[in-house]
């Protein structure tokens, strides 16, 4: 049994709690969410379960009082600058940290100053911290890295994640702009609130693992426009509205494109799949038809990473430098 504290009880945090409890090998000794509708409530009830006799607290000190958590599962924000004080507080409390914060997946190139500060604070307190999730953290970075293990040469990697977002959680459908007019879509993009976060982080993670020095990375973002009325999502989408988002990340090394990450998430997307195409020696394609449900997978990998985070060296870590993460029935 390993003792954890859950920080953040949004949709992902609630699933993470249910998954952790299902394992039978993880003890949740505390939970934190300052939202007025959660603080003071029973953790089980907040997560759609039976009452568990554990009250959600407004802050870490209250949640940890008299408890001995070892790892914090941190499912709060996507923005690293907003996450930084939360990581700092957890590190100072001596807790290892597994977070679903997308920008934490590989911050060394995108936000190096914050990455260095987090690395230092974790080392100072002898704890390790990692950002994980299905993407970034696995399908478009860690898994492709692992697939190259059988390669004598890698010339180019193309990674595609195409997904029908209909079965995803509502905030995800909203995040990808499903059901917006094109004007609303553009406004949200301009405001920085509509995009999948992580393609650039994933490209830098792959480059680091493969020993590539990238010339530059680029990311494009466009709406996917409904070519019919779509009713499979959380609300109906009319023809001509946005039903999702398409983003393409590209990276060059020595003037040549070596990475293309193609992300499509839309309500009503006709085919879901996760594909990695490696050009090299040997060249091959790995395909997961139907794709991987991101909500289940992100929470599962977060729970599965707990075993690895307690075995690694202190500091800010990434999925490629943790001991290999896999499902585990034991801790």
Tell the smallest beta-carbon distance from residue 329 to its own copies (Å).
Answer: 4
CB 198 within 8 A of CB 307: no
Tell the smallest beta-carbon distance from residue 111 to its own copies (Å).
Answer: 23
**Could you give the strand order of the β-sheet that contains 128-131, starting from the edge strand earlier in sequence?**
26-32, 2-7, 71-74, 96-99, 128-131, 315-317
Residues contributing to the site for its own copies (CB under 8 A): 19, 22, 134, 138-139, 142-143, 145-154, 209-212, 280-282, 284-293, 296-297, 299-301, 303-304, 319-331
Tell the smallest beta-carbon distance from residue 196 to its own copies (Å).
Answer: 17
Q: Which residue has the tokens 């090394």?
A: 253
Q: Which is nearer to its own copies, 200 or 272 (CB)?
A: 272
Tell the smallest beta-carbon distance from residue 152 to its own copies (Å).
Answer: 4
Tell the smallest beta-carbon distance from residue 245 to its own copies (Å).
Answer: 22
Q: Which is nearer to its own copies, 220 or 328 (CB)?
A: 328
Tell the smallest beta-carbon distance from residue 234 to its own copies (Å).
Answer: 20
CA distance 66 to 41: 19
Separation of CA 164 from chain center? 18
Tell the smallest beta-carbon distance from residue 247 to its own copies (Å).
Answer: 21
Q: Which is nearer to its own copies, 174 or 304 (CB)?
A: 304
CA distance 4 to 73: 7
Is the torsion defined by CA of 315, 318, 320, 323 positive or negative? Answer: positive
Q: Which is nearer to its own copies, 292 or 316 (CB)?
A: 292
Q: Which is nearer to its own copies, 84 or 141 (CB)?
A: 141
Q: Which is nearer to its own copies, 120 or 287 (CB)?
A: 287
Q: Which residue has the tokens 């801790």?
A: 331
Tell the smallest beta-carbon distance from residue 328 to its own copies (Å).
Answer: 5
CB 316 within 8 A of CB 117: no
Q: Which is nearer to its own copies, 37 or 155 (CB)?
A: 155
Quick one: which of 12, 199, 310 has its CA closest to 325? 310
Q: Which is nearer to its own copies, 22 or 257 (CB)?
A: 22
């Amino acid at each position: 049994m390993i003792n954890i504290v859950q920080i953040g009880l949004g949709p992902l945090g609630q699933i993470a709690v249910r998954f952790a409890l299902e394992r039978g090998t993880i003890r949740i000794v505390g939970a934190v969410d300052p939202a007025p509708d959660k603080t003071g409530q029973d953790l089980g009830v907040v997560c759609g379960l039976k009452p568990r006799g554990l009250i959600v607290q407004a802050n870490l000190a209250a949640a940890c009082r008299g408890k001995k958590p070892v790892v914090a599962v941190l499912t709060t924000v996507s923005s690293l600058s907003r996450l930084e004080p939360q990581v700092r507080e957890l590190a100072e409390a001596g807790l290892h940290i597994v977070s679903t914060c997308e920008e934490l997946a590989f911050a060394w190139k995108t936000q190096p100053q914050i990455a260095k500060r987090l690395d230092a604070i974790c080392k100072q307190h002898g704890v390790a911290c990692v950002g994980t999730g299905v993407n970034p953290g696995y399908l478009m970075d860690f898994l492709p890295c692992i697939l190259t293990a059988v390669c004598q040469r890698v010339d180019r990697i193309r990674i595609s994640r195409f997904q029908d977002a209909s079965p995803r959680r509502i905030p995800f459908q909203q995040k990808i702009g499903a059901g917006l007019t094109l004007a609303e879509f553009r406004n949200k993009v301009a405001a920085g609130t509509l995009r999948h976060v992580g393609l650039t982080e994933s490209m830098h993670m792959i480059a680091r693992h493969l020993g590539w020095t990238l010339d530059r990375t680029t990311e494009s973002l466009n709406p996917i426009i409904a070519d019919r009325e779509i009713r499979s999502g959380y609300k109906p989408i009319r023809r001509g509205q946005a039903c999702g988002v398409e983003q393409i990340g590209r990276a060059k090394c020595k003037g040549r494109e070596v990475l293309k990450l193609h992300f499509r998430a839309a309500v009503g997307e006709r085919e879901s799949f996760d594909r990695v195409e490696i050009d090299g020696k040997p060249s091959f394609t790995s395909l997961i038809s139907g794709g991987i449900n991101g909500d289940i997978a992100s929470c599962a990998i977060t729970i599965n990473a707990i075993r690895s985070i307690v075995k690694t060296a202190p500091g800010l870590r990434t999925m490629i430098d943790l001991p290999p993460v896999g499902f585990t029935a034991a801790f």
